[in-house]
Structure 1
Amino acid sequence: MKDQRFKIAHREALIGIALVIVNFAIWYGFAYGLGTGDPASYSYVLGFPAWFFYSCMAGTVFMIVLIWIVMKLFFKEVPFNDEEVEK
């Protein structure tokens, strides 16, 4: 019988990959969506170009909160020892 820990680890790895894709989509969308055009026409947030602020700073804060939520809701504690795991 397959160890249940591998099923949990596989699911959590897929969640991790999804989080990376979300992070890249946010970064790419703001950086190249707002960052195109003439730099003289850029808008600024807290002294930073809007594309940089939203892609790097706000995106990072958003991802930290999202990862924290995902960790609390979907990840579970798994023992690493080889003893028989309750099913």
Structure 2
Amino acid sequence: MKKPVNSLDKRFKIAHKEALIGIILVIINFIIWYGFAYGLGSANVKDYTYVWGLPAWFFYSCILGSIIMIILVIVTVKYIFQDIPFEVNEEENK
């Protein structure tokens, strides 16, 4: 006998939650990138400030933003995501 459609397997609930967290991380990355790239980068080129020889908007949006996102993903995977078994337990399905 099949389970009703409304009772999702626990694995799918965890996967949906983790997918939502992944989407939130992508949105955070876009906000950081867009904010610095178009916030600092919309000035006149003569008025740019530079960090390590790169325009500040590029350094903050691409270099520092990437480092921040790498740290956020590592923390998320280490402390929020869960290990789940991929095998279907026949006893649980009965």
* 1:4-43 to 2 correspondences below 5 Å: 4-43=10-49
Over 3 Å counting, the alpha-carbon distance change for 1:60 and 1:15 in structure 2 is same
Unaligned runs of 5+ in 1: none
Q: Alignment length, in residue pairs?
A: 86
Q: Please report how far the alpha carbon of residue 72 of structure 1 lies from its aligned counterpart in structure 2 after TM superposition.
A: 1.2
- Aligned AA (1:38): N
Which residue in 1 is equivalent to 2:79?
73
Q: Pick closer, same or farther for the CA change 1:85–1:5 going to 2, 3 Å.
A: farther
Match of 2:57 in 1: 51
| TM-score between the two structures when normalised by the length of structure 2 | 0.86
- Runs of 4+ off more than 2 Å: none
Q: Give the Cα separation in 1 of the matches to 2:52 and 2:46.
A: 17
- The alpha carbon displacement at 1:5 in A equals 0.2
C-alpha distance in 1 between matches for 2:8 and 2:47: 59
Q: Which residue of 2 aligns with 1:3?
A: 9
Bigger Rg, structure 1 or 2: 2
The answer to which of 66-75 and 55-64 deviates more is 66-75
Measured on the aligned residues, the alpha-carbon RMSD in Å equals 1.4
Question: Which residue pairs with 1:82 in the alignment?
Answer: 88
